[in-house]
Structure 1
Amino acid sequence: MNLSVQTMTYEYAEESLRWTYEPPYDFYNVELSEEALAERLDGSYRTVMDEDGALIGFFCTGESAKVPAGVKDGVYAEAAVDMGLGMHPSLTGQGNGGLFGKKVLAQIQQENEGIPIRLSVATFNKRAIRLYENMGFVEQASFQTDACPFITMIKE
């Protein structure tokens, strides 16, 4: 599968906000709202498309990638580029994460050469944690949200 990164559009923002994940990953479902659309269109989000032009995922960098409880706990104090990502629910759990994750990571590294990359992940999401470890990320810190515990992972 040949993937490309593109600017987030209104249509893709709306489409991605309509995605619904099965439990326990329904934790990642986001309600379609004007506020959520505005965040997806603020310039920090981009799309990942397949060779047929279908939206397979998205990623964000900067403040949008940080979990508010982690900000409060100071886990983002060290300088790094924070990233967040989401893949279409129909593609998860089928071995597609490696290609998707590598594309996102390569794009962010190309734009931020020499700066560590950091992400936050819910500790129950063992699939994602395994993917990130395979991509060279290591656990750095932990924090608790109202919903569940999280860890931050970093790639130097």
Structure 2
Amino acid sequence: MHLQVTSLTFDQATAILHWTYPPPYDFYNMEVSDEAYAELLDGSYQALVDQEQLVGFFCTGQSAQVPPGRPLGLYADDYLDIGLGRHPELTGQGTGFTFCSFVLDTAKSQTSLPLRLTVATFNERAIHLYEQLGFRRQSTFSTAHATFLVMIQSAAEQT
């Protein structure tokens, strides 16, 4: 894997919006809308390419937060929130550690803040991976659609 980070283009946003994940991960399927395009192209999302092929994306800041967690005080400004997505055909193949490590290293190079992420609690394989990468469970909250886990990366993993 030879990952590179690029600015997200309109064509890449279109591809991401049409990714289809199998159940139960279909929770992550996106709706194609003007609002979805606007968010993907607002500058907070970056594309991850491998040999010119779009393999994933990541976002930082408010785009990486689950909005119902904000009024609960779960997103204080002392962390950089990060979100990521991977092409559905590439998930579950044992390359997630390398992929996520690259994303985290890239995000860390852009900030001095520790990292925080939010993941749906049913996504046990992602939670396990995040724990391997030094994240620990901080809090949970529920919406009408899912229960979410907020995870923070330990200080030892930040150096």
| TM bin (shorter chain) | over 0.9
Task: Give the whole-Å Cα distance in 1 for the aligned partners of 2:127 and 2:38.
Answer: 29
Structure 1 position 145, deviation (Å): 1.1
In the alignment, structure 2 segments of 5+ residues that lack a partner are: none
Instruction: Give the aligned partner of residue 99 of structure 1.
Output: 98
Q: For residue 64 of structure 1, what is the amino acid of its counterpart?
A: S
C-alpha root-mean-square deviation of aligned residues, in Å?
A: 0.9
Shift of 1:72: 2.2
TM-score with structure 2 length normalisation?
0.94
Give the match for residue 118 of structure 1: 116
User: What corresponds to 1:135 in structure 2?
Assistant: 133
Q: Secondary structure at the match of 2:116?
A: strand
| Larger relative contact order, structure 1 or 2 (CA cutoff 8 Å, min sep 6) | 1
**Aligned-partner SS, 2:150:** strand
Gaps of 5+ in 1: none
Deviation at 1:77, TM superposition (A): 2.3
Once the two structures are superposed, residues 113-155 of structure 1 have per-residue CA deviations (whole angstroms, 9 ceiling, x without a partner) of: 3x11000000000010011011111111111111111110011
Structure 2 equivalent of residue 59 of structure 1: 58
Deviation at 1:78, TM superposition (A): 5.0
* Contact 1:6/1:49 (8 A) holds in 2: yes
Report the count of equivalent residues. 154
- Give the equivalent residue in structure 2 for 1:3: 3
Give the Å deviation of 1:6: 0.6
Aligned to 2:146: 148
Which TM-score applies when normalising by structure 1? 0.96
4+ runs deviating over 6 angstroms: none
